[in-house]
Structure 1
């Protein structure tokens, strides 16, 4: 049994708490949040105990791992505390919104030798994983083009957007990671375009809600990623991989799989009403992969360094919006 503590009892923390409690190889022991009542309520629902301070987690020799799902501005510090306490760590992205702070944190954690993983959960989507295996097996020939789509049904609250780091660091970064993972290559440069179409007011703090990113890989293959914060037809996530011999696709997924045919009319399900309903299973799968790495004492599936690479692409995309030109991507630690 891996003995876990959870830091963060907000929405995503509650998702992780459910999965921690449900995993058969996890002893879910503690929950900490800056709001003690919220921590106590979440802990009570899942048979854990609330920690009054972070010291009760990082000074506890009865733990093996910590899941960091606290506010973004605390991720780096909590990772450093986990390194000092020799606790394995699974952390929500990003490590820190400031790339230099994130790099320094990764170097610090790597020196400690703990196992630490960034929760790029979409790698654990079954369809995306099958697509990646088709590409790597050579079934589609030489990869020429990746097309990735992420379109959300509703704009997040403005308070969230102001602190999210912007669309490239918050939303598109998942698909930069998928592009790297599926292609097996680190893109050399990115050219990004973006506009605030659904919510012009977010332009006041430098954000966009509709964007396209074009990536070029060392092989000459390319990727295009379109991200939209607000649609009127549901949550749409899909990937196509075009090769020299075939095309493979991880299709958009409907909210149900039964259709009704009656006379000349047909009725079928639309898309999921929100992003969470579409990707919810990937959170449990990601946690399971992390636990398996701990059990088998092997490298975690998504290292902190890989998280840095995807963030470096996002930062280059932000620069591209500002300059209007393609930007080279710097992966140096």
Structure 2
């Protein structure tokens, strides 16, 4: 980054788990940016060394150039639109909204006011997945025929979270839908999903699903297979495989250490990391650096609103496929 760039002045709306991660990264590891103000409905525990205010005050603040939105999903579209009208660039956690119509309305406002909008698909910035993407882009895998993604959480979130999340596909699998598009470099034309409630508990109470297998068919008839679970007792299970005409590449789980213990009763090693923020901490930093750089250099963001809409389209089609017990052709268009 050029040394003569002024610091990007940032406001953060929502200081929950992800908001705190972004706040810490910007304050301590991204010297090209500065947190000017933060906002959260819970006033307890807010950092004392930065100005506080409500979301409307933050968006209207004359010194703020860009806003990082980490508030609940049902607030995202309204905040993004208000930022756009005031000329503030936006980094927004996914999804932009649970309604496809609302997402399209918001993207129209963003285009009208010509701001930068980046969606928080942080897995694109994980070094392991970037390496697989590079192998695909440089032709080392050949013609990619099949992508396999495993994404399983160690435990379901709370009932309250589940009830407002939009369901497994829009809340959790949406990351995998985006990764499939990202790695393949192609668009999805058909979705076929099967899902069940197998863990009970909070998921059943919330009326959601906890286990799913989704097959995506791309425009050239290549495919991706995604399996999800809300409850993997051994940790945060994140694996990806790319198979093509010239070979195969895969990424295994990250672990706290790489030891393998061999003994007379078998072989043992460390379990996968147990929390998504442990697994993807570096990717959150890398994505925020990319956002800051894009705004300062006036370059397109690496993950834009169109990517968010396309992932949401796949998620909605997956839900429809479960309900119909049949493949669903993807409805396109922005």
Structure 1 pair 59–255 and aligned structure 2 pair: CA distance change class (3 A):
same
2 CA distance for matches of 1:264 and 1:10?
Answer: 44
Q: Deviations over 1:24-81 (max 9, x none)?
A: 111111001123x23xx3232xx32112x33322222211100001111100000011
Q: Could you tell me how far 1:253 is from its partner in structure 2?
A: 1.7
Give the TM-score taking structure 1 as reference length. Answer: 0.94
Structure 1 unpaired stretches of 5+: none
TM-score of the pair, normalised by structure 2: 0.94
Which moves more between the two structures, 275-284 or 214-223?
Answer: 275-284
CA distance in 1, matches of 2:164, 2:182: 27
- Aligned residue for 1:31? 38
* In 2, Cα distance between equivalents of 1:241 and 1:307: 22
Q: Name the CA distance, whole Å, in 1 between partners of 2:205 and 2:36.
A: 43
Q: Which runs of 5+ in 2 are unaligned?
A: 1-6
Partner of 2:66: 65
The residue that corresponds to 1:100 in the other structure is: 101
Distance 1:261 1:324 in 2: 46
Counterpart of 2:27 (choices 5, 21, 37) is 21
Matched, 1:80 2:81: yes
Deviation of the 1:280 alpha carbon: 1.8
Equivalent in the alignment of 2:234: 233
C-alpha contact 1:147 1:241 (8 A) present in aligned 2: yes
Q: Post-superposition shift, 1:11?
A: 1.9
Report if the CA contact (8 A) 1:17-1:42 is conserved.
no
Q: Is the Cα–Cα contact under 8 Å of residues 30 and 43 in structure 1 kept in the other structure?
A: no
> Which string of whole-angstrom CA distances, capped at 9 and with x for unpartnered residues, describes residues 122-165 of structure 1?
10000001101101111011001000010111111111111111
Alignment of 1:220 with 2:221, yes or no, is yes
Q: Calculate the aligned-residue CA RMSD, in Å.
A: 1.6
| Counterparts in 2 of 1:318 and 1:206: CA distance versus 1, 3 Å | farther
In structure 1, what is the Cα distance between the partners aligned to 2:118 and 2:209?
29
Q: Distance in 1 between matches of 2:325 and 2:266?
A: 48
Q: Secondary structure of the residue that 1:28 maps to in structure 2?
A: strand
What is the rounded CA distance, in whole Å, between the counterparts of 2:179 and 2:15 in structure 1?
A: 27
2:287 is the counterpart of 1:281: no
Per-residue CA distance 1:219-244 (angstroms, 9 max, x = gap): 12100000100012111101100001
Superposed CA deviations along residues 190-237 of structure 1, whole A, max 9, x for unmatched, are 000000001166346542100000000111210000010001211110
> Structure 1 stretch 255-264 or stretch 295-304: which is displaced more?
255-264
Counterparts of 1:108 and 1:83 in 2: how far apart (Å)?
A: 7
Please tell me whether residue 5 in structure 1 is matched to residue 11 in structure 2.
Answer: yes
Q: Distance in 2 between matches of 1:271 and 1:194?
A: 24
1:5 touches 1:29 (CA, 8 Å); kept in 2?
Answer: yes
After the TM superposition, which residues 303-322 of structure 1 pair with which residues of structure 2 at under 5 Å, given as runs? 303-322=304-323
Shift of 1:183: 0.4
User: How many angstroms does 1:265 deviate by?
Assistant: 7.0
Other structure's SS at 2:187 match: coil
